Structure 1
């Protein structure tokens, strides 16, 4: 694949990330919001991506990655999530800080650096937020999980992913000691559209919490006995 600019890499990564945990494809307006740019800028870049063979797009329709685009996107996702993991584990960054720092670094380091970083970290399978890290050959396994807000009363599982879209929410969850792999049980809802009630933690150390819908949408829960996932391959 020919060398690509950081803007191209950012675009394909965002297109992939939008669809990673849902089947609905992204459109130009949503892409503009995610990237914080004008719609006109998105239109121009999408034309370029199409010329490069990285996306398919028709006017007023969704934007989807080609196989070549998916390969590039997963390569950038691997870089980003390994860097986030390194920043959190080795340099003591909080999990609400790692995203922006990794955004800066991912375009600057070489493929050799990334593979040595992976080896240094013991080839982790997920980043600090629970997002899976693609393998060097472009395979990625998504855990079988659903948003907490979608679960019925009595459902039990473990927190397997925490959306990193809102750094302030991540900081709040950190302060409340709501973290990956914590057991969680849905107790129900308070009356009249009130907050979601859950039990968090193991046995004697468990505690009951009232969570907003925003938090319930950011937490992804995997059944305790489920370990398989869906594998996606770019090749």
Structure 2
């Protein structure tokens, strides 16, 4: 496959397009992309045209934006870089999980492929980052756990927290204070009356505790209740 000339902006765009669709089937549109990147709609329109010319996205006016095979390959490469750097910052340098995203954003464009592969080996080739997001392999394969947002689950549903969205650093700090973390056992007990908060039991039966959570928190927590996984394999270059 012919190498595509890229820039940090191109890499950021394809990574954000991928991240938006990783945990849902709904494609992203230009307005949503502009919001996620914090740029004007006109800037997005210009960049999407460039991405289309490079063969990285499929897009028609007023329609959603979807990655091509080449675009997905590049996106997964950048996601691998980002999540390995987040893991290194958290595990080796003592960064909190609400701090690693912005730092990894700065570093991911500056390091080489050789550095990333040596970093992965140093970390023991981790399969997920500090927030539970899966780390793609060097061959472009990514293993997504079958999981659902906590807020969408019915009373009585049990599982374990497998992913925590990193979109809101303040929410991550709150979860840290409340000791809500990855792999914790969780059970949905119900809701408070009149559209109130979501009531859950956290922890195993011996050390469990009940908590009231807002819908915003419930939407940020992803719960796995099976060991079934979905593989997404991207052809190598």
1:111-130 paired onto structure 2 within 5 Å: 111-130=113-132
Q: In 2, Cα distance between the equivalents of 1:14 and 1:78?
A: 13
Q: In 1, Cα distance between the equivalents of 2:160 and 2:149?
A: 11
Equivalent position of 1:200 in the other structure: 202
Equivalent position of 1:222 in the other structure: 224
Q: In 2, Cα distance between the equivalents of 1:200 and 1:213?
A: 16
Equivalent position of 1:142 in the other structure: 144
Equivalent position of 2:155 in the other structure: 153
Give a deviation string over 1:61-107, Cα, whole Å, max 9, x none: 00000000000000000000000000000000000000000000000
The unaligned stretches of length 5 or more in structure 2 are none
Give the drift of 1:176: 0.5
Give a deviation string over 1:191-233, Cα, whole Å, max 9, x none: 000000000011221100000000000000001xx22211111
Structure 1 residue matching 2:156: 3-state secondary structure:
coil
Q: State the Cα RMSD in Å.
A: 0.6
1:170-209 paired onto structure 2 within 5 Å: 170-209=172-211
Taking structure 1 as the reference length, what is the TM-score of the superposition? 0.98
Equivalent position of 1:44 in the other structure: 46
Instruction: After superposing the two structures, state which structure 1 stretch, 24-33 or 199-208, moved more.
Output: 199-208
Equivalent position of 2:21 in the other structure: 19
Q: In 2, Cα distance between the equivalents of 1:83 and 1:206?
A: 33
**8 Å CA contact retained: 2:4, 2:54:** no
Q: In 1, Cα distance between the equivalents of 2:61 and 2:167?
A: 28
Q: In 2, Cα distance between the equivalents of 1:104 and 1:52?
A: 24
Q: In 1, Cα distance between the equivalents of 2:19 and 2:4?
A: 22
Give a deviation string over 1:39-70, Cα, whole Å, max 9, x none: 00000000000000000000000000000000
Taking structure 2 as the reference length, what is the TM-score of the superposition? 0.97
Equivalent position of 1:55 in the other structure: 57
The unaligned stretches of length 5 or more in structure 1 are none
**8 Å CA contact retained: 2:161, 2:186:** yes
Equivalent position to 1:29, from 28, 31, 35: 31
Give the drift of 1:3: 3.5
Structure 1 stretches (4+) deviating beyond 4 angstroms? Answer: none
**8 Å CA contact retained: 2:58, 2:67:** yes
1:79-94 paired onto structure 2 within 5 Å: 79-94=81-96
